[in-house]
Amino acid sequence: MHPIRTYAWASLLAAASLVPTGLAATAENSAIASHRLSQKTDFTDAQITTGFMKIAFGAEYHLAGRIDRIRKYNVPVRIFIDGAARADRQKQIAKVTADIARRIPALDIAITPVRDGANMVVNLVRDRDLDKAVRKFYGNEKAREIRRSLDPQCLSGFRKNERYEIEHAEVILAVDAGDFVFLDCAYEEMLQSLGPINDTDAVPWTMFNDNVSMGFFDIYDQILLNILYDPRVKPGMSADEVRAILPEVLPDVRAAVSRINDLKPQQ
């Protein structure tokens, strides 16, 4: 789910989302509401640990650099929205950003009106311009490879430093799709740009599974992202180091997610 300027950035990870298209507006809104009501909300420690390890380590589309370490922002995330084609889509991105901020308390994330001050850029493009945008970020050769192997509806990618701290991310979203597809893409790509870049088909509850479409920030993924942005989980940690601290981190994350979503605390 991710593209970026490979010619300028030495360390790059990328992936792509495959999502359905063609839902009518009313059906899409109903679909989001239905998914929200029917989502699973209780998970064992083993289910959470398995999901976190699969999405936080590795990369669906790997271009450069090691992928066996935790990658995350270690500074406030400031998002610039690039693309004035659809004012309604800009408003939706602002709402998605505010929702992410509310549901990951340890993460400082917000919209900025100044591109120079941004370390994440959300590029809103027409579907007809998607290939052009991919070529801009990847170059012609990589763009052809991505289109041939992934045929993405939306993409994102980030650059990290030698300490595995994310320094900058780019997200590309097509504005022409219906609300469900657009929001599904927006949540997945923006959240993956925060670090959990690997997709997996082995976990049925996560939006980072190409067979799963949510359209909102679900409980399971809130747990995973809150683990990632817990201060005890550091950029550059190995899988073994993370496993060692998860018994300490998990109870606090469970309590936080339950409180944010007005759920009965999990034991």
Out of 14-18, 76-80, 161-165, 184-188, least confident range: 14-18
Answer whether 15's CB lies under 8 Å from 60's CB: yes
**For residue 168, is pLDDT > 60?**
yes
Q: Does pLDDT of 166 surpass 80?
A: yes
pLDDT in tens, 70-84: 999 999 999 999 987
Closest CA relative to residue 263, chosen from 39, 31, 101:
39
The bridge status of strand 166-174 relative to strand 120-125 is: parallel
Please state, in angstroms and rounded to a whole number, the distance separating the CA atoms of residues 257 and 116: 33
Predicted pLDDT of residue 82: 93
Higher pLDDT, 9 or 221: 221
CATH of the domain at 41: 3.40.390.10
Contact of 93 with 124, CB cutoff 8 Å: yes
Report the alpha-carbon angle 120-123-126, nearest 5. Answer: 170
Q: Is residue 1 part of a domain?
A: no
Where residue 183 falls among pLDDT bands split at 50, 70, 90? very high
Is the pLDDT assigned to residue 61 strictly greater than 80? Answer: no
Q: Does residue 87 surpass a pLDDT of 60?
A: yes
Max CA-CA distance within the chain?
51
127 neighbors 176 (Cβ within 8 angstroms)? yes
Segment 23-60, tens digit of pLDDT = 333 344 677 888 888 899 999 999 999 999 999 986 55
Domain assignment present for 7: no
Task: Indicate the residue type of 119.
Answer: N
C-alpha–C-alpha distance, residues 211 and 225, integer Å: 20
Mean pLDDT of 94-120: 97
Q: What whole-number percentage of the chain has pLDDT above 90?
A: 56
Please tell me whether the overall predicted TM-score, pTM, comes out greater than 0.75 for this model: yes
Q: Which residues pair with 13 in a beta bridge?
A: 62, 158
pLDDT tens column, 115-160: 999 999 999 998 777 777 777 776 676 666 656 555 566 888 889 9
Is 4 a residue whose pLDDT tops 60? no
The answer to the question of residue 33 being in a domain is yes
Whether residue 5 lies inside any domain: the answer is no
Q: Tell which residue, 217, 220, 227, has the closest CA to residue 250.
A: 227
Would you state the pLDDT for residue 167?
A: 97
- Domain ranges, residue 217: 12-260
**For residue 24, what pLDDT is reported?**
37
Q: How many domains does the chain have?
A: 1
Of 130, 128, 176, 119, give the one whose Cα is nearest residue 154: 130
Is residue 266 in a domain?
A: no
Q: What are φ and ψ of residue 139, in 5° steps?
A: 90, 160
Residue 267, in any domain of the structure = no
Instruction: List pLDDT tens digits, range 191-238.
Output: 999 999 887 788 889 999 888 888 999 999 999 999 999 999 999 999
pLDDT of 6 strictly over 50: no
